A = this chain, B = another copy of it.
């Protein structure tokens, strides 16, 4: 049995859960309490994000492609090399936008807690955070919470993502070629947060009709239900 260490709200975890469910692979989920920063504890950094996957594979896009290469059925990558390249481009493009989601993370309760940390406590917490982008987000939460202008700019970039998706969905209703693929899986956690908290008004059938249909279709997949993007009734 595979063991998956994951956070319910984490975009990376949501991707891998969705990929596992599409593959019909059974796994034992170990929930990491991200609000308690368990995912930055030395214990967690020592284990694998996905038990069966050797430790160095920590990126969700790479993990999904690895799962598809290891368990080819049903395929989650198009056959043609060019389509596969487009799929990888999408994953990378979406990854590069993660900073715009981070700005919206835990905005209320985190800033309140973090602002009470002493400089020493803050420095101690930062030591365990590998990504510079996330370190910056914690410093900002603790000392100088993101402004409304910064949130607007981040929201704007996520809306540009919806615009690009709208264009890409034109030929066949999926991001790459005619098939549902890891590109769609990579986008799903971003769209979930855009739809739910960041820019729900952009997700209407009027504003982005193809994205709206894609999202409806994706959410109707049994794997999506099992991947449990929220609300988190189980845990």
Is A89 engaged at the interface, CB distance under 8 Å to the other chain?
yes
User: Can you list, as one digit per residue, whether each of A68-101 has a CB less than 8 Å from chain B (1) or not (0)?
Assistant: 0110000000000110111011001000000000
Interface size classification for chain A: 10 to 19
A150 and B56 alpha carbons, distance in the complex (Å): 29
The answer, among B62, B81, B86, for a CB contact under 8 Å with A88, is B62
List chain B residues, Cβ under 8 A from A66.
Answer: 81-82, 84-85
List chain B residues, Cβ under 8 A from A69.
Answer: 81, 84-85
A203 and B81 alpha carbons, distance in the complex (Å): 37
Query: What is the minimal beta-carbon distance from A60 to any residue of chain B, in angstroms?
Result: 11
Is A171 engaged at the interface, CB distance under 8 Å to the other chain?
no
The answer, among B54, B58, B82, B86, for a CB contact under 8 Å with A82, is B54
A69 and B65 alpha carbons, distance in the complex (Å): 15
Is A123 engaged at the interface, CB distance under 8 Å to the other chain?
no
Is A57 engaged at the interface, CB distance under 8 Å to the other chain?
yes
Which chain A residues (31-87) contact chain B, with CB distance < 8 Å?
Answer: 54, 56-59, 62-63, 65-66, 69-70, 81-82, 84-86
Residue contact A92 to B54, C-beta cutoff 8 Å: no
Query: What is the minimal beta-carbon distance from A207 to any residue of chain B, in angstroms?
Result: 24
List chain B residues, Cβ under 8 A from A59.
Answer: 89, 92
A70 and B85 alpha carbons, distance in the complex (Å): 11
Query: What is the minimal beta-carbon distance from A51 to any residue of chain B, in angstroms?
Result: 14
Residue of B nearest to A57 (CB): B85
A167 and B66 alpha carbons, distance in the complex (Å): 23
19 A-B residue contacts at CB 8 Å?
A56-B86, A56-B89, A57-B82, A57-B86, A62-B88, A62-B89, A62-B92, A63-B85, A65-B84, A65-B85, A65-B88, A66-B82, A66-B84, A66-B85, A69-B81, A69-B84, A69-B85, A70-B81, A70-B82
